[in-house]
Amino acid sequence: MSLLSVRLEENTRRAIRRAMHAGTLRAAVVPLASTEQHNEHLAMSHDASCVGWICRQAAERVFPAAVVTPVVHFGISEHWMDHPGTLTLTPETFAQVVYEICDSLRRGGIGRILLVNGHGGNRRPIEAHLEEFRAKLGIRLELCSYWEAYSSDFVKRCLESGECPGHSGEFETSEAMAIFPQSVHMDEEAYPAGEVRITDAKRAADDQRFFATARLASAEKGRVMLEAAVDWLAARIETLTR
């Protein structure tokens, strides 16, 4: 019996067990994200929806050698807590959650894990613990953010704003238009400066700028960027499963 799906949670225990015994299932991909504000026009699920989609598309290229776990929907978003609806964990809690997911996979016999980050605030706390986690787990554990796929020249060619990832700006809005347009809520309203209160002056200025650059987004730009990310990540997963 082969794996039923690239999604870990859609498989039966029998399918996972037999794929591991046969040696066909060799790695797991863990998408890391957040539930947080994405300006006036994008759903708070953006990071989770996007990184999960990219990971699944990439893992399909090497199926059944790797499975993708459910997305970790909660990350480190303290910097966005001016905006109601944002959810955050402390760095310590987030790192512990990620560790325990990896440990669960290890205990089940998975010795190769790729953590794929889809939210900028998550990277540093995991990097700070990565060597510790490797030593404690005794497995091959790697970390990347999917936008590492892009060179600066590639970004300049694809995006008029030249900003990537750029929180909720041209890049992320283009991604959403390409793969889940129902979560994009663009309209002709001006930025509601009188309603929005952001305590950090730089973040306040960036928020208005990203709202403006989102108008440059298109589904075609999103498809080009996403295809490059999937190609890059698929190669990374393939190397991990050899």
Q: Which of 76, 46, 59, 74 lies closest to 113, judged by CA?
A: 59
pLDDT value of residue 214: 98
Record the tokens describing residue 65, joined without a space.
Answer: 């050698």
The average confidence (pLDDT) of the chain is 97
The stretches in the chain having pLDDT less than 50 are none
Range of the domain at 46: 8-241
- Residue that has been written with the tokens 């776990």 in this structure: 69
Residues in the chain: 242
3 assigned to some structural domain: no
Record the tokens describing residue 33, joined without a space.
Answer: 């994200």
CA dist., res. 164 & res. 82, Å (int): 23
pLDDT value of residue 25: 97
Taking residue 38's Cβ as centre, other Cβ atoms within 10 Å add up to: 25
The CA–CA distances, whole Å, from 56 to 8, 19, 102, 120 equal: 10, 18, 18, 20
Q: How many folded domains does the chain comprise?
A: 1
CA dist., res. 201 & res. 133, Å (int): 36
pLDDT value of residue 1: 57
125 assigned to some structural domain: yes
Largest CA distance in the chain: 61
Residue 218's CATH number: 3.40.50.10310
Q: How many Å from the N-terminal Cα to the C-terminal Cα in the chain? A: 21
